[in-house]
Structure 1
Amino acid sequence: MESLRRGDELLTASMLMIIIIGFAFEVVDAAQPWATKSWGDAHATFYGGQDASGTMGGACGYGNLYSTGYGTSTAALSNGLFNNGFTCGACFTLVCKLESSRWCYSGGKSITITATNACPPGSEGGWCDPPRLHFDLSYPMFQTLAQPVGGVIPVNYKRVPCVRQGGVRFTLQGNPWFNYVLVYNVGGDGDVAAVSIKGSSTDWVTMNHNWGQYWSAGVQLTGQTLSFEVTLGSKISLVFWNLAPTNWQIGQTYEADNNQNFQ
């Protein structure tokens, strides 16, 4: 009986160790493709024409990428990277895999791009279909890595911090009873995971993720100064107090002093 009891204790201890190891594995392996900061494998194509005019607008809601500061250093991401719009604004460094494609330029050239659009299933000859990880680059970015005649190239990619000029920007849309806000020019992680809004006479109100980087809340804030709290995908948060004055207007953009706590 004593030997059986000891056997049961050993079995219980072994099972507990397996559970602990399994739990540790889950924690370590939690990084998603859009969040990984180690090199991963993907492919890239290009869209939008040589002047990148066809890359304006898109599923992140940034509109004219020149006026919003993103320019042509951009890409549309496949579903496996786009993360339902929560990856909008994130930055990635890409390197063409010279050993895997004769179209790559030699010298280990790299580019850093911002996610500004989605590359939906059925696009680019199926390269954007799940579960593929794919970057549909602007023509100027693709041309930096490889000869455009190649069409599709293998790349290594990883998340990198975003460096922005100026502060975080908030464009106010909607109407007096429906706050509809585009958040962009975010440094550091670049992506936005949560937004809250506060009037000078109200408590904080959690905004809903509408699409891309548009956030909404049904609350009457007319005639009040507006403050915002922005939380990145890494859970870093920053409050921008009294950013919009009492006479704020629909269609106006209000810019914070800086990005210093994000970058």
Structure 2
Amino acid sequence: MACRAGGALVGAMLVLISLSSVVEAQFGGFCDPFQAPTGGWTGGTATFYSGGRGGACGFGGLGYAIYGERYAAASMKIWQNGAACGMCVEIKCMGPSGCYAGKIVKVTITDFCPNTHPNLAHCGPEKNHIDMGQNSFPVIANPRVGVINIQYRVVPCNAYGNFQVQINGNQYGWLSLLIAQIPGSGRVVGCEVQGAGMNYWEGLRRVWGSNWMRTGTPLKTPIHVRLSLLGQICKVTSRNCIPNGFYFGQAVKCNLR
């Protein structure tokens, strides 16, 4: 009996290893990057502002085309040096007045609410504060109240079939990638590239917001891009993401499926 139980255990382990290999081959990580866990509700405050066509993540016009009016700026505690860029959040109003009962709005973090005057009252270092787009706030509360208490939680972003990249670089070794429209958790924690003919992945560094950069020997095109997404650290790979003859400011869609 003990031998049969041990054999069954070994068999189960082999099946698990086999399944894990399939998942890794398909998704580049031991999880499904198109899904992400929903976080618990956290208390905080919210205000609203205009100007969502820019933002500290650097999404700019590309981000506005993707996220539209559902943008938001995060306080330092939520921002975490830009790691919150692309994070999707559900928000509901908790008072003390002006709330629309049962209403929840989903926004994407595209900006930073600086912990400087006159923002210290809301966006100080220890504050859980979200400065919402001026057209998102009215979904959950009367804008006349100005400031509300909220509950917010991190939720999965859309299961996009591609991510978008704005190429800010040249053919001579400097490559800077602005990455937007991320599936799953929406948060990129690592970016790697592989030029044509390379047999290894080269890591880029986050320079600010959602911008990742490398310098050095020029990469041969087309260039593959691999992203590490926060969660269980899923890796997603887009082959031939950066095309031949790319140019500064070019926006490309990089397929994931």
Which TM bucket (shorter chain)?
Answer: 0.7 to 0.9
Q: After superposition, where does 1:108-257 map in structure 2 within 5 Å?
A: 108-122=102-116, 123-124=118-119, 126-163=121-158, 167-175=162-170, 176-202=172-198, 203-221=200-218, 223-234=220-231, 235-257=233-255
Mapping of residues 19-34 of structure 1, within 5 Å: none
What do you get for the CA RMSD once the two structures are aligned? 1.9
**Highest relative contact order (Cα 8 Å, sep 6+), 1 or 2?**
2
**Count, aligned residues:** 217
CA distance change for structure 1 residues 41 and 65 in 2, over 3 Å: closer, same or farther?
farther
Is it true that 1:103 corresponds to 2:98 in the alignment? yes
Q: What does the per-residue CA deviation read over 1:120-163, in whole Å, with 9 as the maximum and x for residues that have no partner? A: 01344620111000000011111111111111000000000001
Deviation at 1:119, TM superposition (A): 0.2
Worse-superposed segment, 178-187 or 122-131: 122-131
Specify the structure having the higher radius of gyration (Cα): 1
Alignment equivalent of 1:43, drawn from 35, 42, 45: 45
Task: Note closer, same or farther for the CA distance 1:236–1:66 as it changes in structure 2 (3 Å cut).
Answer: closer
The TM-score, its normalising length taken from structure 2, stands at: 0.79
CA distance 1:129–1:233, change in 2 (3 Å): same
Give per-residue Cα distances to partners, 1:217-248, cap 9 Å, x unaligned.
11333542100010011101011112223222
Change (3 A) 1:249 1:223: farther
Q: Is the 8 A contact 1:68 1:185 kept in 2?
A: no
Contact residue 169 and residue 247 of structure 2 kept, 8 A? no
Moved more, 246-255 or 145-154: 246-255
Q: Percent identity?
A: 29
**TM-superposed deviation, 1:73:** 0.5
Q: Give, in angstroms, the shift of residue 167 of structure 1.
A: 1.4
- 1:193 aligned partner, one-letter code: V
Name the counterpart of 2:61.
64
TM-score scaled by length of structure 1: 0.77
Mapped partners of 1:154, 1:60: distance in 2 = 25
- Identify the range of structure 1 (62-71 vs 78-87) with the bigger mean alpha-carbon deviation: 62-71
The 1-side partners of 2:127 and 2:238 are apart by 38
The answer to which of 68-77 and 241-250 deviates more is: 241-250
Amino acid at match of 2:147: V
**What runs of 5+ residues in structure 1 fail to find an aligned partner?**
1-34, 49-53
State the distance in 1 between where 2:64 and 2:206 align: 23
Question: Equivalents in 1 of 2:62, 2:135: separation in Å?
Answer: 14
Q: In structure 1, give the amino acid aligned to 2:225.
A: F
